[in-house]
Amino acid sequence: MCGIVGVLGDHEVAPLLVEALKRLEYRGYDSAGIATVYKSRLDRRRAVGKLVNLSDVLVHNPLPGKAGIGHTRWATHGAATEGNAHPHSCGPVTVVHNGIIENFRELREKLAAHGITPSSETDTETVAMLTAHHMAQGLQPREAVMATVAALHGAFALLFLFEGEEDLMIAARKGSPLAIGHGKGEMYVGSDAIALAPMTDQVTYLEEGDIAFVSRAGVEIIDAAHNRANRDIVRIEPGTTLIDKAGHKHFMTKEIFEQPTVVAEALGRYAPAGLPSFPDRLDFTKITRVVMVACGTGYYSCLTAKYWFEQIAGLPCEVDVASEFRYREPPVTPGTLALFVSQSGETADTLAALRYMKEKADIVAGLVNVGTSSIAREADIALAILAGVEVSVASTKAYTNQLTILALLALHAGRQRGVLTEAQCRGHVEDMKRLPDLMRQTLTLEGKIAKIAETLAPATSILFLGRGVMYPTALEAALKLKELSYIHAEAYASGELKHGPIALIDRSLPVVVFAPHDRLFEKTVSNMQEVLARHGQVTLITDAEGARAASEGTVAQLVLPAASELCAPILHALPAQLIAYHAAMAKGTDIDQPRNLAKSVTVE
């Protein structure tokens, strides 16, 4: 979602701020702006749309100054207009903000009584107004910000700049991450280390409730109780902030083609000697139930894992989307492992669900791709997804690595609970070790997949079908297609077709069926026949045996290498991703940053 940067520099900061904002583009945004303090005066430039529009504004109307803050905004309160773009200013204060101020209406009313009125529709402007009000009453910037932050409800990261203060930025974190970057005679603030990577690899992460007073000489941090806090400076590994398309047209294709490598890495980490290996605290002899919570693509990896935990480990497993789970107030029985799956580790709903379970479950584990994220830090155990930086808003390699690790975790549970023998467990891991190779073979089918996608692209609606573990695959395929190509897509468990959605079938409806030749193959094919009988346009994604048995009547077939039941949903994710990618290419949409979407959804 929104991105924040700040620089107290030795040189003009406007180009640095725009460059840093560029590195945050992947988070998703619809307007951008920067502000500087120069000769004691605050000034700002803002523009709707991509950063190139802000750069154009700056060419015609440069913004001098060596101290500045910047922001990419993903609209929540108020449309994407220049007036609603950050920074928001009031008197001697300007501020950028990630998150939501829940009590902004109430605060606005109070400020109106003092004659302070907003000029935008945003919640953020209230923060500037309140701080300016405190300063008008005689408080210095530091005390004014402390008083403001104490009055705010919601989840936020804030960065302030002040008139007359060319060596001061104040940052506050409650719910949204912020990183302080240390340079030589310069200091930086960013919503993540990726933004700061070209400037510094020395970073301090703020903790919940922290307020940081940043000058060129360093940073002073106070905690939620306003006591001085010592926070470590950590060195960021270069690989974790690398943003590079490596010759690909889009980050998404680069990330799709990285999957064999990152899956191999996950297999190496979590099954180093032919058997799954997880921290001792994940003791499945004591765990009697697994509750998995996530959003979007992470939710579909959990749905797949539910089949595995139940079938392979005989372990009851419940899966929910975080936005529902957090308000459902589900009863929690002893022996519960609560597992939260999130690429970013910052998804607001998933984090809230984790906090709900923290006091109730026996163990709270996170499966996260960002090791410094809130979910990683707040879980009792953080398992790394090991996918490397994922820039494309549409998740690909994080998904297949989540699946790989969850499959190994289910095997581990099966082994510990005595449902699987060691030999059976080794056999499954052996199968999984073939995955990187099978994935490479599957990626060679890109040309054929592109042709199928081009025929699907003109459709206004597409139906995806699958059974068992292929049902979540169908759901993920529909999500990817919607996100990237804006084509309406739905997924059904194929057995559910005749209970309603079959009414949609006619000659114009493309139907994509995921049907590897597994024990449910015949059942899925029967459902596919029901579609064919009604002239539905079926694309069958299967393996050689499946294609031999069931291609008749289908308009296209995609034949993947044969894979074990555990590997099939991981392998079938690849054509799902490539269909979405090539349909989006055919439609000319913004592939890495689809409209309205954000990479990490830090608001409820």
The Cα–Cα gap between 412 and 488 comes to: 38
Q: Is position 302 annotated as part of the catalytic site?
A: no
Q: How many residues does the chain have?
A: 604
Which residues from 515-574 bind ligand AGP, rule CB under 6 A? none
Q: Which one of 171, 315, 550, 601 is in contact with ligand AGP (CB under 6 A)?
A: 601
Candidate list 2, 90, 295, 317, residue with the active-site label: 2
Q: Do the Cβ atoms of 256 and 574 come closer than 8 Å?
A: yes
Task: Confirm or reject binding of residue 31 to ligand AGP (CB under 6 A).
Answer: no
The Cα–Cα gap between 474 and 478 comes to: 6
Helix, coil or strand: residue 6: strand
Q: Which one of 304, 347, 537, 557 is in contact with ligand AGP (CB under 6 A)?
A: 347
The Cα–Cα gap between 370 and 387 comes to: 9
Q: Which is nearer to ligand AGP, 492 or 581 (CB)?
A: 581
Q: Do the Cβ atoms of 375 and 177 come closer than 8 Å?
A: no
CB of 293 to ligand AGP, least distance (A): 10
Task: Confirm or reject binding of residue 295 to ligand AGP (CB under 6 A).
Answer: yes
Burial per residue of 490-511, b for 16 or more beta-carbon CB atoms within 10 angstroms, e otherwise: bbbbbbebeeebbebbeeebbb
- The one-character DSSP state at 298 is H
Candidate list 22, 66, 174, 599, residue with the active-site label: 599
Q: Do the Cβ atoms of 489 and 482 come closer than 8 Å?
A: yes
Binding window for ligand AGP (CB under 6 A); candidates: 90-98, 233-241, 339-347, 554-562: 339-347
Q: Which is nearer to ligand AGP, 152 or 179 (CB)?
A: 179
Task: Confirm or reject binding of residue 25 to ligand AGP (CB under 6 A).
Answer: no
Q: Is position 599 annotated as part of the catalytic site?
A: yes
Closest by CA to 301, choosing from 596, 11, 573, is 573
Binding window for ligand AGP (CB under 6 A); candidates: 122-130, 227-235, 239-247, 289-297: 289-297
CB of 255 to ligand AGP, least distance (A): 11
Q: Which is nearer to ligand AGP, 395 or 554 (CB)?
A: 395
The Cα–Cα gap between 365 and 361 comes to: 10
Q: Please report which residue ranges of 156-273 form alpha helices under DSSP H.
A: 193-196, 251-257, 259-270
Q: Do the Cβ atoms of 600 and 27 come closer than 8 Å?
A: yes
Closest by CA to 512, choosing from 431, 440, 457, is 457
Q: Which one of 297, 374, 401, 416 is in contact with ligand AGP (CB under 6 A)?
A: 297
Which residues from 389-408 bind ligand AGP, rule CB under 6 A? 393-395
Which residues from 465-484 bind ligand AGP, rule CB under 6 A? 483
Task: Confirm or reject binding of residue 253 to ligand AGP (CB under 6 A).
Answer: no
Task: Confirm or reject binding of residue 148 to ligand AGP (CB under 6 A).
Answer: no
CB of 591 to ligand AGP, least distance (A): 12
Q: Which one of 9, 298, 388, 466 is in contact with ligand AGP (CB under 6 A)?
A: 298
User: What residue type is 211 in one-letter code?
Assistant: I
Going across the sheet that includes 67-73, the strands are 41-48, 31-38, 67-73, 3-8, 187-190, 179-182, 202-205, 234-235
Q: Give me 141's structure tokens.
A: 């910037």
Q: Which is nearer to ligand AGP, 166 or 349 (CB)?
A: 349
For ligand AGP (CB under 6 A), the number of binding residues is 16
Q: Do the Cβ atoms of 186 and 8 come closer than 8 Å?
A: yes
Q: Which one of 148, 350, 537, 602 is in contact with ligand AGP (CB under 6 A)?
A: 350
Task: Confirm or reject binding of residue 485 to ligand AGP (CB under 6 A).
Answer: no
Q: Which residues bind ligand AGP (CB under 6 A)?
A: 295-298, 342-344, 347, 350, 393-395, 483, 597, 600-601
Active site residues: 2, 599
